[in-house]
């Protein structure tokens, strides 16, 4: 009986493997032996001041994954500034090209991924002064059909030895962290024929042990794939109907077993997509839950938020938010659904039984909202309007901007909010009312959509477009270390 079971298992695996034949296995290059490169000041860099030393009792971490080390925008860093100085200035800044990719930070190295002219560029910078260790570039020809930036959308991810980047046209690279050498590369559009997408490829890959998991969306499938992170070879693929969204895959434990959660749903007629709960060891879809607005011009862009055995999904084109309970049999129960908190491409954060996030498409009429996790009941909503003073030909004028499509990090007992127009705010997240602890303004720009990255008490913020003060796109590093 046991022998028969083994034979059946091997037969099933062989059938499954036939469905995921790699269309083009990439070449893997050996790392050339060389001394670590020294960081050298580049012409695009301006250094202002060195950062303060870290408090000896401070807890810190790297920022290697999308949404931070725990993939839920919750940071364990401590001993950060309780209030901002009158004018918070960067300790260094470097000019950047087009794109909306956040930076990764690991081992005092910052990985910047952007586009300059007709090249996508990966740069490795020193975290405390911005000096460049190395730069890697390759050609790209993407043009955004809606007039937004033509650069990459996906944050680089790092495992401590290698960097993985996914460009706006689907070019996937594995680079050596210390040297910048290319280990392997793939053109996913050519290899798999990606479906048409509104704004190019935009879901950051996920590293799960030795697998690089991507919300792919190939024509006719697979929708989600896993590559061997060392070789780039396809390990598995799953789902055929649902296309790639702009929501990055998230891994989490449900009853001590690891699963990958992918919120699919991009450009399609008719519109379709939803949640896939996938077993990473073999790519088996154990739960498939449709959740997508009916509008053609809709996308799913907020990553799933997993809290114990519950999954919160949200989108802002009509379906709204929903909380699922995953049962012991990997079935689902709908606990509630509503339209109180309809996130666009920010992912809501959870604190002490409540969800907080930006409701709506924005930039106008996109308030901050608090809802109770257990019931979905709205506790409060508030849309502050913050002043910005800008010099014009007729003198200085004061404008007022909302948080709009901002990002939130729960850290050090509070919440750090980066608003779309360059405001940085400390909030006290509580279910009773909106409480603002302190606020500063970094720069007056309109597309501050990238999630800020926090590591070693330093905050990295991308200005993605030309500012209202004519400042150019740049990456800025701010010292939030407490003395």
Give percent of the chain above pLDDT 90.
90
Bridge partners of 111, per DSSP, are 104, 124
pLDDT band per the 50, 70, 90 thresholds, residue 14: very low
Mean pLDDT value of segment 422-437:
98
Summarize pLDDT for 222-272 with one digit per residue, the tens. 999 999 999 999 999 999 999 999 999 999 999 999 999 999 999 999 999
Tell whether the model's pLDDT for residue 9 goes beyond 70. no
The three-state (H, E, C) secondary structure of 263-296, written as one string? ECCCCCCCCCCEEEEEECCCCEEEEEEECCCCCC
Summarize pLDDT for 434-456 with one digit per residue, the tens. 999 999 999 999 999 999 999 99
Provide the whole-model pTM. 0.95
Contact 223, 241 (CB under 8 A): yes
Mean pLDDT value of segment 12-16:
39
Give percent of the chain above pLDDT 70.
96
Sign of CA pseudo-dihedral 375, 289, 203, 298:
negative
Tell whether the model's pLDDT for residue 18 goes beyond 70. no
Burial label for 71, CB within 10 Å (0-12, 13-18, 19+), is buried
**pLDDT in the model for residue 394:** 79
User: In angstroms, what is the C-alpha Rg of the chain?
Assistant: 22
């Amino acid at each position: 009986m046991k022998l028969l079971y083994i034979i059946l298992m091997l037969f099933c695996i062989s059938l499954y493997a036939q469905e995921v034949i790699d269309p083009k296995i990439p070449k893997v290059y050996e790392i050339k032996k060389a001394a670590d490169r020294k960081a050298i000041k580049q012409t695009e860099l301006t250094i202002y001041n060195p950062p303060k030393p870290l408090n000896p009792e401070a807890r810190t971490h790297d920022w290697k994954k999308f949404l931070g080390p725990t993939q839920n925008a919750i940071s364990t860093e401590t001993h950060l500034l309780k209030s901002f100085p009158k004018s918070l200035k960067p300790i260094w800044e470097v000019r950047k090209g087009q794109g909306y990719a956040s930076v990764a930070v690991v081992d005092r190295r910052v990985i910047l991924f952007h586009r300059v002219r007709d090249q996508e560029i990966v740069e490795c910078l020193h975290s405390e002064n911005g000096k460049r260790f190395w730069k890697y570039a390759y050609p790209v020809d993407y043009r955004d059909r809606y007039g937004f930036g033509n650069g990459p959308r996906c944050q680089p991810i790092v495992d401590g030895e290698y960097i993985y980047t996914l460009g706006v046209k689907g070019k996937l690279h594995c680079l050596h962290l210390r040297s910048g050498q290319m280990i392997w590369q793939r053109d996913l559009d050519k290899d798999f024929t990606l479906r048409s997408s509104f704004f190019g490829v935009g879901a950051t890959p996920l590293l799960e042990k030795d697998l690089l998991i991507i919300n792919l969306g190939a024509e006719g499938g697979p929708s989600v794939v896993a590559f061997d992170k060392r070789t780039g070879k396809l390990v598995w693929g799953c789902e055929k109907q649902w296309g790639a969204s702009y929501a990055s895959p998230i891994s989490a434990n449900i009853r001590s077993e690891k699963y990958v959660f992918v919120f699919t749903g991009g450009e399609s007629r008719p519109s379709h997509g939803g949640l896939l709960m996938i077993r990473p060891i073999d790519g088996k879809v154990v739960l498939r839950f449709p959740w997508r607005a009916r509008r053609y011009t809709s996308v799913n862009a907020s990553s799933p938020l997993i809290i114990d055995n519950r999954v919160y999904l949200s989108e802002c084109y009509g379906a709204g938010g929903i909380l699922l309970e995953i049962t012991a049999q990997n079935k689902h129960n709908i606990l509630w659904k509503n339209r109180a908190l309809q996130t666009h491409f920010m992912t809501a954060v959870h604190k002490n039984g409540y969800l907080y996030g930006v409701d709506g498409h924005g930039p106008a009429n996109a308030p901050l909202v608090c809802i109770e996790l257990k019931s979905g009941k709205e506790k409060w909503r508030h849309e502050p309007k913050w002043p910005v003073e800008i010099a014009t030909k007729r003198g200085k004028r004061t404008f007022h901007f909302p948080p709009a499509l901002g990002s939130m990090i729960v850290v050090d007992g509070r919440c750090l909010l980066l608003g779309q127009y360059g405001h940085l705010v400390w909030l006290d997240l509580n279910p009773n009312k909106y409480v603002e602890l302190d606020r500063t303004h970094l720069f007056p720009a309109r597309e501050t959509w990238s999630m800020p990255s926090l590591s070693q008490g330093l905050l990295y913020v991308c200005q993605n477009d030309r500012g209202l003060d004519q400042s150019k796109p740049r990456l800025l590093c701010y010292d939030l270390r407490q003395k």
